[in-house]
Chains A and B, each alone.
Chain A
Amino acid sequence: MRAASRKLQLTAAFVAGGLFGIGLLLSGMTMPHKVIGFLDVAGRWDPTLAFVMAGALAVYALAYRLAVRRPAPWLGERFDVPARRRPDGRLWLGAAIFGLGWGLAGYCPGPGIVAAGSLAGDAAWFVASMIAGSFLTAKLLGTRPATTAAPSRALGREPVP
């Protein structure tokens, strides 16, 4: 990151986090009973989460098509997006474990952090143990490079190996 626009970059990231949080609040995702209500399909089903995902996907898919045409982000040097790889055992296992925790408490990372900021009930416990779990897993198994430095013009066009 260039030092000159660092303040601007940090502001942009803060605004992104803030808007993201307001979106979560507005859509009811910071209320665990709504998430549990969606996942507990055999109970009193609450379809809210499906509408939230549909709205988010529509907007982001459009933005991604815009990003693909740009040489670089407005305030950064390159697009950092995950490499195209096939699903592997680590992905399946991790997603399965994550889903269990999500369905148990009704929090995923974003809403958990917003709820912790509001000092709602046990959300701080959720976030503390989430941080511990993530940190320990990285310590024990090592981290994977989350993103590749793919040339931005190749955004989304890397071949699947």
Chain B
Amino acid sequence: MQWHDASIALVGGMLIGAASAWLLLALGRIAGVSGILGGLLPASAGDAGWRLAFLAGLLVVGAAAGWLVPHMVGDSPRPVGVVALAGLLVGVGTRLASGCTSGHGVCGIARGSVRSIAATATFMATGVLAATGARLLGGGS
């Protein structure tokens, strides 16, 4: 990684922070993607619209990227069965922990939430275990 990449990553991160800040200041909501999605499963009355609109924003950007800059959206290096299992773990885990990388890792830590700091330290640690373990077991990458 070079300084050029690092500064782009920093700017991208700041944009993520700005988007989350906008959601907080405009709508008073926490930009936690798992929570925004989870609130639709099942949805409560009158609360679904903004969630769907936020997720639509993510999907539209994804669709545009797939068309215009396909090299910027990559496939997982793992086989499809592992990716599906990973999705299941992410769904179960984020529901139990009430948050993911965005809700806990960005919004929660920035708010100084003890729960979010605990959650982030934990998912970073098990993330290291899983990523290292998958490489050692020859799951690709």
Interface on A for B, CB 8 Å cutoff?
1, 6, 9-33, 36, 39-43, 46-49, 51-64, 66-67, 70, 72-82, 84-87, 90-110, 112-123, 125-138, 141, 143-144, 146-147, 152, 156, 160
- A104 to nearest B CB, angstroms? 4
- With A21-B58, A64-B110, A99-B122 as contacts: A104 and B130 at CB distance below 8 Å: yes
- With A90-B96, A92-B118 as contacts: A64 and B66 at CB distance below 8 Å: no
In the complex, residue of chain A having the shortest beta-carbon distance to the beta carbon of B94: A98
* Interface pair A94/B92, CB less than 8 Å apart: yes
In the complex, residue of chain B having the shortest beta-carbon distance to the beta carbon of A89: B96
In the complex, residue of chain B having the shortest beta-carbon distance to the beta carbon of A108: B101
Q: Name 7 A/B residue pairs within 8 A (Cβ), A-sorted.
A: A9-B50, A23-B12, A26-B12, A31-B72, A40-B132, A101-B87, A105-B78
In the complex, residue of chain B having the shortest beta-carbon distance to the beta carbon of A12: B26
* Interface pair A109/B34, CB less than 8 Å apart: yes
* Interface pair A98/B135, CB less than 8 Å apart: no
* Interface pair B17/A58, CB less than 8 Å apart: yes
Q: Which residues of A contact B6 (CB under 8 A)?
A: 47-48, 51
Q: Which residues of A contact B55 (CB under 8 A)?
A: 17, 113
* Interface pair B97/A23, CB less than 8 Å apart: no
- A18 to nearest B CB, angstroms? 4
Residue pairs across A and B with CB atoms within 8 Å: the count is 526
* Interface pair B88/A30, CB less than 8 Å apart: no
* Interface pair B125/A20, CB less than 8 Å apart: no
A92-B119, A125-B87 known; 12 new pairs, CB 8 Å cut-off, are: A12-B22, A16-B54, A28-B8, A31-B72, A93-B96, A97-B96, A101-B86, A102-B90, A104-B134, A109-B101, A117-B62, A126-B90
* Interface pair B82/A105, CB less than 8 Å apart: yes
* Interface pair B87/A105, CB less than 8 Å apart: yes
Checking B20, B59, B72, B98 against A113 with a beta-carbon cut-off of 8 angstroms, the contacting residue is B59
* Interface pair B33/A126, CB less than 8 Å apart: no
In the complex, residue of chain B having the shortest beta-carbon distance to the beta carbon of A40: B131
In the complex, residue of chain A having the shortest beta-carbon distance to the beta carbon of B125: A99
Q: Which residues of A contact B18 (CB under 8 A)?
A: 19, 23, 59, 63
* Interface pair B26/A106, CB less than 8 Å apart: no
- B9 to nearest A CB, angstroms? 4
Checking A17, A25, A123 against B75 with a beta-carbon cut-off of 8 angstroms, the contacting residue is A123
For A77, A85, A146, A147, which residue has the most chain B Cβ atoms within 10 angstroms?
A146
